[in-house]
Structure 1
Amino acid sequence: MTRLLFVHGAGGEDDDEPLAEGLGSLLGATVDMPRIPSDDMSVEAWAGPIRRGLEASPDLVIAHSFGATVLLHVLASVPVPAATVLAMPDWSAAGWDVPQYEWPTVPSEVSLTLHHCRDDDVVPFSHLALASAQLPDARVVEHQRGGHQFDGAVGEVVASMRL
């Protein structure tokens, strides 16, 4: 059975569960979603559970929002062949301007795909262009609808994945 590591966003332990389960169902994968509490929002606090998830050698890695940010930090030292990130904020001065969350350089051997919905009301759609400028090798997929939780767009995410 295919194994999916899904990294939820900040406060998304419950909110992201339908997204993770929907992806797992369409991918025919069992979902491992470490529940990371939002009481410590440091990169290091979130990186530990993500590293442990990667140690289990998942077949697929998908991360959402803040979880995607921390995944990129982890991938700088623990690369995987491919990762899909959904609605990832940009933390540079051009985005939300929070230097502690700015991503490091991701190794070129990691095949990244960035997804964002135009109607996301949490992370502005403009962050996708900022991310793609900083991650020029990443594949970019725009979705017309779906909001921050990719409601109704999960099938499009799966259809665009290169499995």
Structure 2
Amino acid sequence: MKKTVLFIHSAGPQDREQGSSNLSAYLEKELRNKYQSVFPKMPNPKNPEYVLWKNQLEKELNMLNEEVVLVGHSLGGSVLLKYLSEESCNLTIVGLFIIASPYWGLDEDWQSKDFTLQSNFEENLPAIPNLFLYHSRDEDIVPFTHHKTYAEKLPQASLRELEGRQHLFHFHKGLPVLVNDIESL
């Protein structure tokens, strides 16, 4: 039986060629032979609220019953970290992949009580044997300082610091290192 990859997308429009849609299509294409992919629609992505995303994430997790790989892009990564550090999850999480995610509350441009992690969130995460953080050094949507903060809080994580300014990782380029990391599990 194939393992499941559950992908939680970014905030903003999610139509074709927008938001995380190109990255999720790339992952589905690259992983289809070895993994079952689940890309749920998250509620109101243009004006997200944590409680609505949490409820949808919980619904998706409750439909799974095997080992799972969790991938969160931008806001999706923030939501996964918040959920996993505040709620119980009975699944076996074999990998957690956080891509270009904001660390809410880090600076004045990134304030949201809704998505801010508890100060000791890292102590409350379940044991996840494979944790990866990806971020482009010069990206202009979520500053690289957010990646550095996650890296400090999560020293067990494998860091993938990428050249360039990518945030959305368009379909034609994708994120090959992510595919390689998932397939290495």
The interval holding the TM-score normalised by the smaller chain is 0.7 to 0.9
Which consecutive aligned stretches of 4+ in structure 1 deviate over 4 angstroms post-superposition? Answer: none
Does the 8 Å CA contact 2:69/2:94 hold for their aligned counterparts? no
2:112 to 98, 104, 117: 98
Q: How does 1:66-85 map to 2 (within 5 A)?
A: 66-76=75-85, 77-79=87-89, 80-85=93-98
Q: 2:125 aligns with which of 100, 107, 113?
A: 107
Match of 1:53 in 2: 60
**Per-residue deviation, residues 39-86 of structure 1 (Å, max 9, x unmatched):** 652211111111122223363211111111111111122343421011
Counterpart amino acid of 1:125? Answer: F
Where does residue 147 of structure 1 map in the other structure? 166
Alignment-mate amino acid for residue 136 of structure 1 = P
Check 1:144–1:86 CA distance in 2 against 1; reply closer, same or farther (3 A cut): same
What percentage of aligned pairs have identical amino acids?
A: 25
Task: Give the TM-score normalised by structure 2.
Answer: 0.76
User: Residues of 2 paired with 1:87 and 1:21: CA distance?
Assistant: 17
Q: Is the 8 A contact 2:11 2:47 kept in 1?
A: no
Aligned residues: 163
RMSD, aligned CA: 2.2
Q: Give 2:166's aligned amino acid.
A: G
Larger radius of gyration: 2
Partner of 1:64: 73
